[in-house]
Structures are given as C-alpha cells and as structure tokens.
Amino acid sequence: MDRPAWAPAGVDMGQPSPARMYDALLGGSHNFEVDRRAAQRGSRLVPDLPRLALSNRAFLRRSVRFLVEAGVTQFLDIGSGIPTAGNVHEIVQECGSDAHVLYADIDPIAVAHSRAILVGDDRYRAIEADLRDPADLLKRVVATGLVDFAQPVGILLFAVLHLLSDDHLPAAKVAALRHAVPGGSFIAISHLTSAQRPEDAAQLGASSAAANGVGIHFRSRAAITALFDGWELVEPGVVELPLWRPESARDRHEQPGRSLGLAGVACKA
C-alpha cells in the first residue's frame, strides 16, 4: 500500500485509529482505507453515526465561541485529532480573537498534520502528549511557552475521555487539569453516552474494540456529569450535543432524545 505524502513514516497504515475514523466520518481527507472501512462498519451498526460526528463538531464551534466571548485568550485542546475544517484556531480567528491555541494528541499523524497547517503562526502549536499521564502532558505544555498557567485557560476535551477506560480514572485526569489552572478557567467536554440508546452504545463499543483494540467507553449521564466535579457548570448543564446552546437550525444534526453524545461547559471559580 502506497504511503501518502502527508503520512509520517512509522505510522501503521493497517491499523485504524479513533482520530482518523472521526476524520473519515466528518468527510475529511486525512485517513486511510482501514479507517474508512472501520467508520463504515460503525455506520452500518448505527446509521446516524456521521450525524453524531457533525453534532460534536458543531458543539466544538459553539463552545469555543462561548469561551472567546467569556474572555478566554488561551486554549488547550487535548485529544485534538486530525485537522478538519473548523478547527479551534479557525473559530478563534473568526471571532476576531488573537488567543493562543495549543493542540495535544497521542496520535503522531494528528500532530504532524496540525504542525503542517500551523506553520507560520506562532500563536498556534501542536504537541504529542497523552492524557493518561497528565503530569507529563502538563510538563510538555509548559515547555512550549504558549500556555501560561498563571492566567485562565480554556481546556477542551472533545470526544476523548470516552477513549479512557474506567481503569484509567478519567475523572482523576480531569481533576488534575483543574488543579493546574487558575480561577476563571473553563473546561468543555463532549462524551459518548449510553443514556439514550444503550443497545446502540453496546454495539458500537464492541465494534470499536474489535477494530482497533482501543475501545470506546460509553458512560451514563451521571458518570459524565461527575467529570465536572469541582467545576461550576454553565447553563444548560450537561445535555445532549444538539441541545447545548444551539445557534440555529443547522446545529440540529441529530434528533433530540436520540443523541449518543452529551456535552457541557464549566468554569473554575
């Protein structure tokens, strides 16, 4: 199989990755055939899976706009994935802000693409880091000099915490990030849930585990809400993706009551 020019050497093109599968669901071009096949298998199990991906992307847009309007001038996007139209730094630019944006991901392809896109603008950068080791992640963030932890930070955890098993203690990882930032900081989280459709969630979880060995961990509403412990949720709290402050009909990619994703934004007092 020919390696595309954009694919870093050493990346296994025969193993699907969650980041590239998500890119495929969004209609992106930075994925391999193995990722597209895995995304298609998921869509056969749950036909509205592409709409879920679009709904999550729309939440990213709305929440980043909200944080810019709240005065956030630096963002840490953890589990940022493959660059696709409507990245955080693009939304920041659309809002007329000169905020700094640091992308962090465990996938070397995601990081390589981000770096290629961000060349020439020192306000935006990408690093390879693992959320499962928040101490090391924070050390790498500090080393960039792009994020000042003495000032409020917008922490973004879009569709990443459900890649951590319960053994990885996702709530503890969020708590470690909360302890690292000062008051006035915000966090935005989107997470797959079993609350509305437990059978579909179980099928997708099993399919993902078989496809890439990573697995997706669908959690209950209570478990997802608990991730915000120690933060102050902003209205409307933890809700289905299309119900978090929709701006227009175009944000209704999914039918309320059917979404496999929950989301929320909170502030550190």
pLDDT at 8: 64
pLDDT, tens only, 241-254: 999 999 887 777 77
pLDDT at 194: 87
Partners of 127 in beta bridges: 104
Can you tell me which residue has the tokens 């007092």? 269
3-state secondary structure the chain: CCCCCCCCCCCCCCCCCHHHHHHHHCCCCCCCHHHHHHHHHHHHHCCCHHHHHHHHHHHHHHHHHHHHHCCCCEEEEECCCCCCCCCHHHHHHHCCCCCEEEEEECCHHHHHHHHHHHCCCCCEEEEECCCCCHHHHHHHHHHHCCCCCCCCCEEEEECCHHHCCHHHCHHHHHHHHHHHCCCCCEEEEEEEECCCCHHHHHHHHHHHHHHHCCCCCCECHHHHHHCCCCCEECCCCCEEHHHCCCCCHHHCCCCCCCCCEEEEEEECC
Domain 47-267 fold: Rossmann fold (3.40.50)
Q: Reply yes or no: is the peptide bond before residue 236 cis, omega within 30 of 0.
A: yes
Residue of 261, 241, 264 whose CA lies nearest to 58 = 241
Strands 124-128 and 261-267: unpaired
Q: How far apart are CA 86 and CA 132, in angstroms?
A: 26
> In the chain, how long is the greatest CA-to-CA distance?
52
pLDDT at 7: 67
Identify residue 4 by its one-letter amino acid code.
Answer: P
Q: How far apart are CA 226 and CA 83, in angstroms?
A: 29
Domain ranges of the chain: 47-267
pLDDT at 20: 82
pLDDT at 204: 78
Helices 33-45 and 198-212, packing angle to 10 deg: 160
Rg (CA), the chain: 17
pLDDT at 205: 77
Low-confidence ranges of the chain (pLDDT < 50): none
pTM: 0.90
Q: How far apart are CA 103 and CA 62, in angstroms?
A: 18
pLDDT at 141: 98
